[in-house]
Amino acid sequence: MKSLSLFRAPRRYRSGDDIFSQVFAEAMTPYFSPVSLSDITPHWHDDLLDAFPISLVPFRHGIYNRTVRPAMIGAAVRRLAPDGVVCVRDELWRGDATAAFEREIARRNTYIYNYFDNWFAMPDLALRARSRCDLADAIIVPTLRLKELCEESYPGKPVFAIEEPVDCDRFDSSATEKAEVATLVWAGGPFSQTELVQMRDILAAVHRACPFDLVVLSGYRKPALSLPMPWRWVPFSPANEQEFIPRAWAGFCRLETDAYGSAKGCYKTKTYMAAGTVPVVTDIGHAGQVLHAAGAGFLVGDNDVQQWIDTLVRVLSSRDEAIREGARVREFARRQFAYDRIAAEWAAAIHAVC
């Protein structure tokens, strides 16, 4: 068997379920030997950059670009076994002009480029990675939409659409029960909290019809939100994610119809599903496709206000339905997004080009 090396992006660029995790590497071991998982940046790298005062940012990036980065590229390439398979997750460096690392890999290895994860599976971002895709022996993407785009942009290049896995096992369904009172959760990054503002009147109408507890799981400081009902902020952490999302009766995700909005909700939707929490999501993009495939959860067409209200009132009115529908989405997630299933698809794609 060929060796397989998985290189992943720096910590600050990874989504919550980084496909190039140790669990995924272990799932690939039946198909490749050995399998290694590596960060392109050494552990001290981010700490070094963060130590510089913000006033020295140009100097900091000067050091990074001229000295640190070339040294890391050289060290990383020297760790590779010749004639193996190397997969690179997403952008190790920002911008298309910095594909030097991939160029070195492609000289003596089969190079697979893993396109953007299901958090940022956006066509306009995909087009910025032309140098990487031209170098790659094959491209792996998380959605059929990106597959079609890449096949058109890079004719003759093998492109595989493979769903990204979700670490369902971090949510222990046997140890968590639904909250006794109706509970709605919103989980997201600080940059997407405008979604909560857009839901302000909808949440108020739902609360009048069916009082509920609202949990906002976000960031490391309490957001400056003015919502017309009591709400609780919980700082995001893996422990809090595992505690609060599974206990909620439902989790919501309101998406816009632009390319960014239609792409960014999939990770959140799949996280709700993995936790056994009913997702209520705008019917758009990959998040909508996932719930259509699951035949579970609730989709809101065109962000219709009354449909949002009716759907949230329905799911927050019945703990039994929340438990029953949550079990359905959890079962789908554990079956479709499991690491061993996705690893088998990855292995088949890689062997097809090696």
Dump pLDDT digits (tens) for 305-341. 999 999 999 999 999 999 999 999 999 999 999 999 9
CB 183 within 8 A of CB 212: yes
CB 247 within 8 A of CB 178: yes
* Residue 99 predicted with pLDDT over 80: no
Burial of 99 (C-beta count, 10 Å sphere; 0-12/13-18/19+): buried
Range list of H helices, the chain: 22-28, 43-51, 57-63, 69-78, 100-106, 123-126, 130-135, 144-153, 194-198, 200-209, 238-247, 259-264, 266-275, 285-294, 305-316, 319-336, 339-353
Calculate what percentage of the chain has a pLDDT beyond 90.
49
Can you tell me the distance from the alpha carbon of 49 to that of 61, in angstroms, rounded to the nearest whole number?
Answer: 8
- The stretch 238-261 carries a mean pLDDT of 91
Residue whose structure tokens are 């997969």: 87
Helix axes 200-209 and 305-316, enclosed angle (nearest 10): 40
Cis peptide preceding 34, ω within 30 of 0:
yes
| Confidence (pLDDT) at 63 | 54
* Residue 293 predicted with pLDDT over 60: yes
CATH T-level fold of 169-336: Rossmann fold (3.40.50)
| Confidence (pLDDT) at 309 | 98
- The stretch 150-154 carries a mean pLDDT of 90
How long, in residues, is the chain?
Answer: 354
User: Closest by alpha carbon to 106, among 77, 74, 139, 69?
Assistant: 77
Convert the pLDDT of each residue in 153-208 to its tens digit: 889 899 999 998 988 888 976 667 899 999 999 998 766 788 899 999 999 999 99
Give the model's confidence band at 70: pLDDT under 50 very low, under 70 low, under 90 confident, else very high: low
Give the model's confidence band at 342: pLDDT under 50 very low, under 70 low, under 90 confident, else very high: very high
SS3 19: coil
SS3 37: strand
- The stretch 213-233 carries a mean pLDDT of 90
- The stretch 242-261 carries a mean pLDDT of 91
pTM, to two decimals: 0.85
* All structural domains of the chain with their residue ranges: 4-165+338-353, 169-336
* Residue 139 predicted with pLDDT over 80: yes
User: Closest by alpha carbon to 256, among 282, 233, 277, 219?
Assistant: 282
Give the model's confidence band at 46: pLDDT under 50 very low, under 70 low, under 90 confident, else very high: low
Average pLDDT, the chain: 85
CATH 3.40.50.2000 fits domain 4-165+338-353 = yes
Calculate what percentage of the chain has a pLDDT beyond 70.
81
* Residue of 90 and 27 predicted with greater confidence: 27
Neighbours of 341 (CB within 10 A): 16
* Residue 50 predicted with pLDDT over 90: no
* Residue 231 predicted with pLDDT over 60: yes
Question: Do 4-165+338-353 and 169-336 have matching folds?
Answer: yes
Can you tell me the distance from the alpha carbon of 333 to that of 217, in angstroms, rounded to the nearest whole number?
Answer: 21
- The stretch 245-270 carries a mean pLDDT of 88
* Residue of 246 and 76 predicted with greater confidence: 246
